[in-house]
Amino acid sequence: MKEKILIKATDLFLNLGFKSVTMDDLAQAMGISKKTIYSHFENKTKLVEACTMHVFDSVSCGIDEICLLKKNPIEELYEIKRLVMEHLNEEKTSPQYQLQKYYPRIFNTLRNKQFEMMHGCVINNVKKGIDQGIYRGNLNIEFVARIYFSGVTSIKDSRLFPVAKFPVADLMDNYLEYHLRGIVTPKGRKILNNIINSNQN
């Protein structure tokens, strides 16, 4: 039952927002009593924390699996983007903003874990791209990794990029292309253009 509560709560939080969904809403959506929820999660904060870490762990495992496939680095980033979009259900609200505002401790813990995971992932990606001649050899790898993380987290800020103007899927596509065009060689640009053209067909 704990796993079922976790999955349903995660779905509701991502679609409606961490603040918006009450324990009553969750109980009603599952057809169970609040008492049942509280027998597994002490309070809503504990549930929010469990849900955010559940999503993080799922995405992290998925990214590890993608990296093991040994795709070229450009394809790898597009696969990771697709995985993230699947897990976040294209975020119909701004769960990150609500998490930051109402659960700052959980938000900061999550942000630190995201940085550690993404930092290592992007550094490996850039090194592979340079070795394969599809990323420029004169890149400051540490800078690229950090500016990529900074951008990915900034585009999730609905105050900067309102969802009504910037649908999440388009925003992620635009940002990834923006990132890659800044670091690819002519050889890499051909691969990138082929991926973009195939995605549009």
* Residue at 29 is within a domain: no
Closest CA to 100 of 7, 19, 163: 19
Alpha-carbon distance of 153 to 113, in angstroms, equals 13
**What's the confidence (pLDDT) of residue 174?**
95
pLDDT tens for 173-194 read: 999 999 999 999 999 999 999 9
Would residue 28 count as lying in a domain? Answer: no
- Give me the count of residues in the chain: 201
Beta bridge partners of 135: 184
Q: Is the pLDDT of residue 201 over 80?
A: no
Task: Compute, in degrees rounded to 10, the torsion defined by CA atoms 61, 74, 69, 123.
Answer: -60
Structural domain that includes position 157: 53-200
The pLDDT value recorded for residue 162 is 87
**92, two tokens:** 């119909």
- The CATH number given to whatever domain includes residue 137 is 1.10.357.10
In a domain, 6, yes or no: no
In the chain, pLDDT over 70 holds for what percent of residues? 96
Q: Is the pLDDT of residue 123 over 60?
A: yes
Give me the percent of the chain exceeding a pLDDT of 90: 77
Q: Is residue 132 part of a domain?
A: yes
105 within some domain: yes
Instruction: Give domain status of residue 26, yes or no.
Output: no
On whether the CB atoms of residues 126 and 73 are closer than 8 A, the answer is yes
This prediction's pTM: 0.87
| Residue 40 located in a structural domain | no
Q: How many domains does the chain have?
A: 1
pLDDT digits (tens, 9 = 90+) for 13-40: 988 889 989 999 999 999 999 999 999 9
